[in-house]
Structure 1
Protein backbone atom coordinates (compact mmCIF):
# COMPACT_ATOMS: atom_id res chain seq x y z
CA UNK A 1 0.00 0.00 0.00
CA UNK A 2 2.80 2.43 0.83
CA UNK A 3 4.33 1.77 -2.59
CA UNK A 4 1.00 2.62 -4.23
CA UNK A 5 0.88 5.88 -2.29
CA UNK A 6 4.24 6.79 -3.85
CA UNK A 7 3.01 5.82 -7.30
CA UNK A 8 0.06 8.18 -6.94
CA UNK A 9 2.19 11.29 -6.42
CA UNK A 10 1.90 12.43 -10.06
CA UNK A 11 -0.89 10.61 -11.84
CA UNK A 12 -1.43 11.34 -15.53
CA UNK A 13 -4.86 10.90 -17.09
CA UNK A 14 -4.61 10.87 -20.87
CA UNK A 15 -6.99 12.70 -23.21
CA UNK A 16 -6.88 11.67 -26.88
CA UNK A 17 -7.62 15.17 -28.19
CA UNK A 18 -5.08 16.94 -25.98
CA UNK A 19 -2.49 14.26 -26.67
CA UNK A 20 -3.05 14.39 -30.45
CA UNK A 21 0.05 16.49 -31.33
CA UNK A 22 2.41 13.75 -30.06
CA UNK A 23 0.03 10.83 -29.78
CA UNK A 24 -0.80 8.95 -26.59
CA UNK A 25 2.29 6.76 -26.50
CA UNK A 26 4.86 9.53 -26.98
CA UNK A 27 2.99 11.89 -24.65
CA UNK A 28 3.05 9.25 -21.91
CA UNK A 29 6.70 8.40 -22.52
CA UNK A 30 7.80 12.03 -22.26
CA UNK A 31 5.59 12.64 -19.23
CA UNK A 32 7.17 9.69 -17.40
CA UNK A 33 10.63 11.06 -18.19
CA UNK A 34 9.46 14.25 -16.46
CA UNK A 35 8.30 12.46 -13.32
CA UNK A 36 4.81 11.03 -13.91
CA UNK A 37 4.56 8.02 -11.60
CA UNK A 38 1.26 6.45 -12.69
CA UNK A 39 -0.81 6.57 -15.89
CA UNK A 40 -4.53 6.21 -16.51
CA UNK A 41 -5.54 5.70 -20.13
CA UNK A 42 -8.89 7.41 -20.60
CA UNK A 43 -10.74 7.48 -23.92
CA UNK A 44 -14.51 7.58 -23.61
CA UNK A 45 -15.13 7.09 -27.34
CA UNK A 46 -12.73 4.23 -28.07
CA UNK A 47 -13.77 0.60 -28.41
CA UNK A 48 -12.42 -2.06 -26.09
CA UNK A 49 -10.27 -3.36 -28.94
CA UNK A 50 -8.80 0.12 -29.50
CA UNK A 51 -8.12 0.55 -25.78
CA UNK A 52 -6.34 -2.79 -25.67
CA UNK A 53 -4.12 -1.83 -28.61
CA UNK A 54 -3.11 1.51 -27.10
CA UNK A 55 -2.57 -0.01 -23.66
CA UNK A 56 -0.25 -2.66 -25.06
CA UNK A 57 1.82 0.01 -26.81
CA UNK A 58 2.03 2.13 -23.67
CA UNK A 59 3.00 -0.90 -21.61
CA UNK A 60 5.79 -1.68 -24.06
CA UNK A 61 6.98 1.95 -24.09
CA UNK A 62 7.16 2.01 -20.28
CA UNK A 63 8.69 -1.43 -19.76
CA UNK A 64 11.12 -1.39 -16.86
CA UNK A 65 10.07 2.05 -15.62
CA UNK A 66 7.99 0.83 -12.69
CA UNK A 67 5.10 3.09 -13.67
CA UNK A 68 1.68 1.43 -13.25
CA UNK A 69 -0.78 1.71 -16.14
CA UNK A 70 -4.54 1.47 -15.58
CA UNK A 71 -7.43 1.76 -18.03
CA UNK A 72 -10.44 3.94 -17.33
CA UNK A 73 -13.88 2.34 -17.32
CA UNK A 74 -12.93 -0.82 -19.22
CA UNK A 75 -12.00 -3.72 -16.99
CA UNK A 76 -12.11 -6.17 -19.89
CA UNK A 77 -9.51 -4.12 -21.76
CA UNK A 78 -7.28 -3.96 -18.69
CA UNK A 79 -7.33 -7.74 -18.36
CA UNK A 80 -6.84 -8.38 -22.08
CA UNK A 81 -3.96 -5.90 -22.36
CA UNK A 82 -2.44 -7.28 -19.14
CA UNK A 83 -1.83 -3.84 -17.68
CA UNK A 84 -1.64 -3.07 -13.96
CA UNK A 85 -5.31 -2.43 -13.41
CA UNK A 86 -8.42 -0.37 -14.02
CA UNK A 87 -10.14 2.75 -12.72
CA UNK A 88 -13.92 2.96 -12.52
CA UNK A 89 -16.49 5.59 -11.64
CA UNK A 90 -19.69 5.50 -9.64
CA UNK A 91 -21.82 4.91 -12.73
CA UNK A 92 -19.88 1.94 -14.00
CA UNK A 93 -19.87 -1.64 -12.77
CA UNK A 94 -19.62 -2.10 -9.01
CA UNK A 95 -16.18 -2.37 -7.41
CA UNK A 96 -16.98 -5.97 -6.45
CA UNK A 97 -17.77 -6.84 -10.07
CA UNK A 98 -14.59 -5.11 -11.25
CA UNK A 99 -12.50 -6.92 -8.67
CA UNK A 100 -13.97 -10.25 -9.68
CA UNK A 101 -12.86 -9.65 -13.28
CA UNK A 102 -9.48 -8.13 -12.42
CA UNK A 103 -8.50 -10.78 -9.91
CA UNK A 104 -6.77 -10.11 -6.59
CA UNK A 105 -3.46 -8.73 -7.84
CA UNK A 106 -4.36 -5.93 -10.23
CA UNK A 107 -4.94 -2.35 -9.07
CA UNK A 108 -8.50 -1.06 -8.81
CA UNK A 109 -9.16 2.67 -8.49
CA UNK A 110 -12.52 4.29 -7.82
CA UNK A 111 -13.70 7.87 -8.38
CA UNK A 112 -15.57 9.39 -5.45
CA UNK A 113 -17.22 12.81 -5.38
CA UNK A 114 -19.21 12.56 -2.14
CA UNK A 115 -18.75 11.53 1.47
CA UNK A 116 -21.21 8.67 1.06
CA UNK A 117 -19.25 7.28 -1.90
CA UNK A 118 -16.00 7.45 0.05
CA UNK A 119 -17.49 5.71 3.06
CA UNK A 120 -18.88 2.96 0.81
CA UNK A 121 -15.48 2.19 -0.73
CA UNK A 122 -14.33 -1.13 0.72
CA UNK A 123 -10.56 -1.29 1.35
CA UNK A 124 -10.77 -5.05 0.82
CA UNK A 125 -11.91 -4.44 -2.76
CA UNK A 126 -10.61 -1.01 -3.85
CA UNK A 127 -6.93 -0.01 -3.81
CA UNK A 128 -7.15 3.78 -4.12
CA UNK A 129 -9.64 6.61 -4.59
CA UNK A 130 -9.73 9.52 -7.02
CA UNK A 131 -11.26 12.42 -5.09
CA UNK A 132 -12.73 15.57 -6.56
CA UNK A 133 -13.24 17.58 -8.56
CA UNK A 134 -11.23 20.08 -6.54
CA UNK A 135 -11.82 22.72 -9.24
CA UNK A 136 -13.90 22.85 -12.39
CA UNK A 137 -12.29 21.40 -15.51
CA UNK A 138 -13.07 21.49 -19.21
CA UNK A 139 -11.75 17.95 -19.70
CA UNK A 140 -14.75 16.58 -17.81
CA UNK A 141 -17.61 19.08 -18.25
CA UNK A 142 -20.24 16.82 -16.66
CA UNK A 143 -18.58 16.80 -13.23
CA UNK A 144 -20.38 17.75 -10.02
CA UNK A 145 -19.76 21.02 -8.19
CA UNK A 146 -16.10 21.50 -7.21
CA UNK A 147 -15.28 20.56 -3.62
CA UNK A 148 -12.24 22.82 -3.06
CA UNK A 149 -9.38 22.08 -0.69
CA UNK A 150 -11.60 21.91 2.38
CA UNK A 151 -13.87 19.39 0.70
CA UNK A 152 -10.87 17.35 -0.40
CA UNK A 153 -9.51 17.25 3.13
CA UNK A 154 -12.90 16.13 4.42
CA UNK A 155 -13.07 13.23 1.95
CA UNK A 156 -9.48 12.13 2.59
CA UNK A 157 -10.19 11.96 6.31
CA UNK A 158 -13.05 9.52 5.77
CA UNK A 159 -10.97 6.69 4.30
CA UNK A 160 -7.82 4.71 5.08
CA UNK A 161 -7.28 4.18 1.35
CA UNK A 162 -4.59 5.98 -0.66
CA UNK A 163 -6.06 8.88 -2.61
CA UNK A 164 -5.30 11.17 -5.49
CA UNK A 165 -6.87 14.61 -5.96
CA UNK A 166 -8.32 15.45 -9.36
CA UNK A 167 -10.05 18.35 -11.08
CA UNK A 168 -8.40 21.38 -12.67
CA UNK A 169 -5.09 20.89 -10.86
CA UNK A 170 -1.83 22.55 -11.91
CA UNK A 171 1.78 22.29 -10.77
CA UNK A 172 1.39 24.94 -8.06
CA UNK A 173 -1.48 22.96 -6.48
CA UNK A 174 0.60 19.90 -5.58
CA UNK A 175 1.52 21.03 -2.08
CA UNK A 176 -2.02 22.10 -1.25
CA UNK A 177 -3.26 18.66 -2.26
CA UNK A 178 -0.70 17.03 0.02
CA UNK A 179 -1.61 19.42 2.83
CA UNK A 180 -5.21 18.26 2.44
CA UNK A 181 -4.01 14.68 2.92
CA UNK A 182 -4.06 13.37 -0.66
CA UNK A 183 -1.12 11.23 -1.72
CA UNK A 184 -0.85 12.95 -5.07
CA UNK A 185 -2.49 14.86 -7.89
CA UNK A 186 -4.15 13.56 -11.05
CA UNK A 187 -3.77 15.86 -14.03
CA UNK A 188 -4.85 15.99 -17.64
CA UNK A 189 -4.39 19.34 -19.38
CA UNK A 190 -1.51 20.42 -17.12
CA UNK A 191 0.62 17.88 -19.00
CA UNK A 192 -1.27 16.54 -22.04
CA UNK A 193 -0.94 18.89 -24.99
CA UNK A 194 1.59 21.19 -23.35
CA UNK A 195 4.36 22.51 -25.63
CA UNK A 196 6.97 20.59 -23.62
CA UNK A 197 5.37 17.59 -21.97
CA UNK A 198 8.50 16.60 -20.04
CA UNK A 199 8.99 20.10 -18.64
CA UNK A 200 5.30 20.30 -17.73
CA UNK A 201 5.64 17.08 -15.72
CA UNK A 202 8.89 18.24 -14.10
CA UNK A 203 7.13 21.39 -12.91
CA UNK A 204 5.31 19.25 -10.37
CA UNK A 205 8.61 18.60 -8.61
CA UNK A 206 8.31 14.85 -8.24
CA UNK A 207 11.61 14.13 -9.93
CA UNK A 208 12.20 12.89 -13.46
CA UNK A 209 13.66 9.68 -14.83
CA UNK A 210 16.40 9.02 -17.34
CA UNK A 211 15.39 8.73 -20.98
Structure 2
Protein backbone atom coordinates (compact mmCIF):
# COMPACT_ATOMS: atom_id res chain seq x y z
CA UNK A 1 0.00 0.00 0.00
CA UNK A 2 1.25 3.48 -0.85
CA UNK A 3 1.35 5.40 2.45
CA UNK A 4 4.22 7.82 1.89
CA UNK A 5 4.15 11.55 2.58
CA UNK A 6 7.43 13.11 1.43
CA UNK A 7 8.73 11.96 -1.94
CA UNK A 8 12.14 13.06 -3.20
CA UNK A 9 12.67 13.19 -6.97
CA UNK A 10 16.42 13.17 -7.42
CA UNK A 11 18.95 13.39 -10.25
CA UNK A 12 22.60 14.22 -10.50
CA UNK A 13 21.73 17.51 -12.17
CA UNK A 14 19.31 18.49 -9.39
CA UNK A 15 22.04 17.89 -6.80
CA UNK A 16 24.17 20.62 -8.39
CA UNK A 17 27.49 18.83 -8.27
CA UNK A 18 27.03 17.10 -4.92
CA UNK A 19 27.02 13.33 -4.58
CA UNK A 20 23.54 12.02 -5.30
CA UNK A 21 23.63 9.29 -2.63
CA UNK A 22 24.87 11.75 0.00
CA UNK A 23 21.99 14.12 -0.75
CA UNK A 24 19.46 11.28 -0.73
CA UNK A 25 20.57 9.85 2.61
CA UNK A 26 20.60 13.29 4.21
CA UNK A 27 17.06 13.89 2.95
CA UNK A 28 15.94 10.57 4.43
CA UNK A 29 17.25 11.66 7.83
CA UNK A 30 15.06 14.72 7.45
CA UNK A 31 11.91 12.74 6.75
CA UNK A 32 11.85 11.69 3.09
CA UNK A 33 10.17 8.27 2.87
CA UNK A 34 10.13 7.60 -0.89
CA UNK A 35 12.72 8.37 -3.57
CA UNK A 36 12.45 8.51 -7.36
CA UNK A 37 15.56 8.48 -9.54
CA UNK A 38 14.96 10.60 -12.62
CA UNK A 39 17.78 10.57 -15.17
CA UNK A 40 16.36 11.44 -18.58
CA UNK A 41 19.71 12.02 -20.26
CA UNK A 42 21.55 8.83 -19.29
CA UNK A 43 21.81 5.72 -21.41
CA UNK A 44 20.62 2.45 -19.89
CA UNK A 45 23.97 1.19 -18.52
CA UNK A 46 24.79 4.49 -16.82
CA UNK A 47 21.23 4.83 -15.48
CA UNK A 48 21.37 1.28 -14.11
CA UNK A 49 24.74 1.85 -12.43
CA UNK A 50 23.37 4.93 -10.67
CA UNK A 51 20.16 3.15 -9.72
CA UNK A 52 22.02 0.21 -8.20
CA UNK A 53 24.25 2.52 -6.15
CA UNK A 54 21.27 4.48 -4.86
CA UNK A 55 19.21 1.39 -4.13
CA UNK A 56 22.01 -0.13 -2.05
CA UNK A 57 22.19 3.06 0.01
CA UNK A 58 18.43 3.06 0.61
CA UNK A 59 18.15 -0.52 1.86
CA UNK A 60 19.25 0.16 5.48
CA UNK A 61 16.69 2.99 5.68
CA UNK A 62 13.86 0.88 4.21
CA UNK A 63 13.03 3.63 1.75
CA UNK A 64 11.60 2.38 -1.58
CA UNK A 65 13.24 3.32 -4.86
CA UNK A 66 11.07 4.35 -7.81
CA UNK A 67 12.56 4.66 -11.30
CA UNK A 68 11.34 7.34 -13.66
CA UNK A 69 10.26 6.21 -17.11
CA UNK A 70 12.59 3.27 -17.66
CA UNK A 71 11.07 -0.16 -17.25
CA UNK A 72 14.31 -1.97 -18.06
CA UNK A 73 16.30 -0.14 -15.40
CA UNK A 74 13.51 -0.56 -12.85
CA UNK A 75 13.44 -4.32 -13.40
CA UNK A 76 17.20 -4.78 -13.59
CA UNK A 77 17.94 -2.91 -10.37
CA UNK A 78 15.08 -4.47 -8.43
CA UNK A 79 13.32 -1.17 -7.81
CA UNK A 80 10.07 -1.10 -5.87
CA UNK A 81 8.29 0.61 -8.74
CA UNK A 82 8.19 3.01 -11.63
CA UNK A 83 6.73 6.42 -12.42
CA UNK A 84 5.54 7.27 -15.93
CA UNK A 85 4.17 10.34 -17.66
CA UNK A 86 2.03 11.00 -20.69
CA UNK A 87 4.77 10.39 -23.24
CA UNK A 88 6.06 7.21 -21.56
CA UNK A 89 5.00 3.57 -21.57
CA UNK A 90 1.38 3.47 -20.36
CA UNK A 91 0.51 2.07 -16.93
CA UNK A 92 -1.54 -0.76 -18.44
CA UNK A 93 1.49 -1.81 -20.47
CA UNK A 94 3.68 -1.59 -17.36
CA UNK A 95 1.31 -3.92 -15.49
CA UNK A 96 1.36 -6.38 -18.38
CA UNK A 97 5.15 -6.41 -18.70
CA UNK A 98 5.97 -6.16 -14.99
CA UNK A 99 3.22 -7.87 -12.94
CA UNK A 100 5.27 -7.70 -9.75
CA UNK A 101 5.65 -3.90 -9.89
CA UNK A 102 5.16 -2.68 -6.33
CA UNK A 103 4.32 0.99 -6.86
CA UNK A 104 3.17 2.43 -10.17
CA UNK A 105 2.80 6.20 -10.45
CA UNK A 106 1.18 8.09 -13.31
CA UNK A 107 1.37 11.82 -14.06
CA UNK A 108 -1.85 13.37 -15.31
CA UNK A 109 -2.32 16.66 -17.11
CA UNK A 110 -6.08 16.66 -17.72
CA UNK A 111 -9.12 15.94 -15.58
CA UNK A 112 -10.41 13.33 -18.03
CA UNK A 113 -7.36 11.15 -17.38
CA UNK A 114 -8.59 10.21 -13.90
CA UNK A 115 -11.35 8.15 -15.53
CA UNK A 116 -9.05 6.06 -17.74
CA UNK A 117 -7.96 2.46 -17.38
CA UNK A 118 -4.36 3.70 -17.05
CA UNK A 119 -5.32 5.75 -14.00
CA UNK A 120 -7.10 2.73 -12.53
CA UNK A 121 -3.99 0.60 -13.07
CA UNK A 122 -1.85 3.09 -11.14
CA UNK A 123 -1.20 3.22 -7.41
CA UNK A 124 -1.13 7.00 -7.35
CA UNK A 125 -1.79 9.93 -9.67
CA UNK A 126 0.71 12.77 -9.80
CA UNK A 127 -0.64 16.25 -10.46
CA UNK A 128 2.22 17.96 -12.25
CA UNK A 129 3.09 20.75 -11.90
CA UNK A 130 1.14 22.33 -9.06
CA UNK A 131 2.98 25.59 -9.67
CA UNK A 132 5.09 26.48 -12.70
CA UNK A 133 8.68 25.34 -12.34
CA UNK A 134 11.78 25.15 -14.58
CA UNK A 135 12.16 21.44 -13.72
CA UNK A 136 8.83 20.65 -15.45
CA UNK A 137 8.71 22.39 -18.82
CA UNK A 138 6.99 19.71 -20.91
CA UNK A 139 3.55 19.90 -19.27
CA UNK A 140 0.39 21.79 -20.20
CA UNK A 141 -1.46 22.26 -16.89
CA UNK A 142 -0.52 24.35 -13.89
CA UNK A 143 -2.89 22.78 -11.36
CA UNK A 144 -2.52 25.24 -8.47
CA UNK A 145 -4.42 24.69 -5.23
CA UNK A 146 -7.78 24.98 -6.95
CA UNK A 147 -6.86 22.14 -9.28
CA UNK A 148 -5.92 19.86 -6.38
CA UNK A 149 -9.25 20.56 -4.67
CA UNK A 150 -11.12 19.88 -7.89
CA UNK A 151 -9.44 16.54 -8.60
CA UNK A 152 -9.68 15.53 -4.93
CA UNK A 153 -13.46 15.94 -5.12
CA UNK A 154 -13.61 13.65 -8.17
CA UNK A 155 -11.47 10.69 -7.09
CA UNK A 156 -10.39 8.70 -4.07
CA UNK A 157 -7.14 7.82 -5.83
CA UNK A 158 -3.97 8.74 -3.97
CA UNK A 159 -2.72 12.12 -5.18
CA UNK A 160 0.94 13.15 -5.31
CA UNK A 161 1.60 16.84 -5.86
CA UNK A 162 4.78 18.05 -7.57
CA UNK A 163 6.03 21.34 -8.93
CA UNK A 164 7.58 24.30 -7.06
CA UNK A 165 6.52 22.97 -3.65
CA UNK A 166 8.57 24.10 -0.65
CA UNK A 167 8.26 24.69 3.08
CA UNK A 168 6.29 27.89 2.53
CA UNK A 169 3.44 26.26 0.61
CA UNK A 170 3.64 22.59 1.62
CA UNK A 171 0.90 22.79 4.24
CA UNK A 172 -1.48 24.50 1.82
CA UNK A 173 -0.92 21.79 -0.79
CA UNK A 174 -1.70 19.04 1.74
CA UNK A 175 -4.78 20.89 3.00
CA UNK A 176 -5.99 21.23 -0.60
CA UNK A 177 -6.14 17.44 -0.87
CA UNK A 178 -2.73 16.03 -1.79
CA UNK A 179 -1.74 12.84 0.01
CA UNK A 180 1.98 13.19 -0.65
CA UNK A 181 4.40 15.91 -1.75
CA UNK A 182 7.07 15.23 -4.36
CA UNK A 183 10.01 17.62 -4.08
CA UNK A 184 12.97 18.30 -6.34
CA UNK A 185 14.74 21.65 -5.96
CA UNK A 186 13.62 22.56 -2.44
CA UNK A 187 15.56 19.57 -1.11
CA UNK A 188 18.13 18.62 -3.77
CA UNK A 189 19.21 22.22 -4.23
CA UNK A 190 19.13 23.20 -0.57
CA UNK A 191 22.41 23.92 1.26
CA UNK A 192 21.31 21.42 3.93
CA UNK A 193 19.06 18.72 2.40
CA UNK A 194 18.36 17.12 5.79
CA UNK A 195 17.17 20.39 7.31
CA UNK A 196 15.15 21.25 4.19
CA UNK A 197 13.40 17.87 4.25
CA UNK A 198 12.73 18.13 7.99
CA UNK A 199 11.18 21.58 7.60
CA UNK A 200 8.87 20.39 4.81
CA UNK A 201 7.99 17.22 6.73
CA UNK A 202 7.01 19.31 9.73
CA UNK A 203 4.64 21.35 7.58
CA UNK A 204 3.08 18.15 6.22
CA UNK A 205 2.51 16.77 9.71
CA UNK A 206 0.98 20.05 10.89
CA UNK A 207 -1.38 20.10 7.90
CA UNK A 208 -2.46 16.51 8.55
SS at match of 1:163: strand
SS at match of 1:63: helix
Q: Does structure 1 retain, via aligned residues, the 8 Å contact 2:83–2:106?
A: yes
Q: Give, in whole Å, the separation in 2 of the partners of 1:182 and 1:125.
A: 19
* Structure 2 residue runs without a partner (length 5+): 204-208
* Partner residue in 2 for 1:54: 50
* Structure 1 residue runs without a partner (length 5+): none
Q: Does structure 1 retain, via aligned residues, the 8 Å contact 2:48–2:77?
A: yes
Q: TM-score, normalised by structure 1?
A: 0.89
1:204 is matched with which residue: 189, 197, 200? 200
Residue 80 of structure 2 corresponds to residue 84 of structure 1: yes
Q: Give, in whole Å, the separation in 2 of the partners of 1:12 and 1:166.
A: 10
* Partner residue in 1 for 2:178: 182
Residue 133 of structure 2 corresponds to residue 125 of structure 1: no
SS at match of 1:201: helix
Q: Does structure 2 retain, via aligned residues, the 8 Å contact 1:85–1:106?
A: yes
Q: Give, in whole Å, the separation in 1 of the partners of 2:62 and 2:150.
A: 31
Q: How many pairs does the alignment contain? A: 203
Structure 1: which 4+ aligned runs deviate by more than 4 Å? 121-124
SS at match of 2:126: strand
Could you give the per-residue CA deviations for residues 151-171 of structure 1, whole angstroms, max 9, x where no partner exists?
111122322221111111111
**How well do the aligned residues superpose, as a CA RMSD in angstroms?**
1.7
Report which of the two has the higher share of helix: 2
User: Against the structure 1 CA distance between its residues 75 and 105, is the aligned structure 2 distance closer, same or farther, given a 3 Å change threshold?
Assistant: closer
* Partner residue in 2 for 1:141: 137
Could you give the per-residue CA deviations for residues 8-48 of structure 1, whole angstroms, max 9, x where no partner exists?
x1111113222143221111111111111111100110112
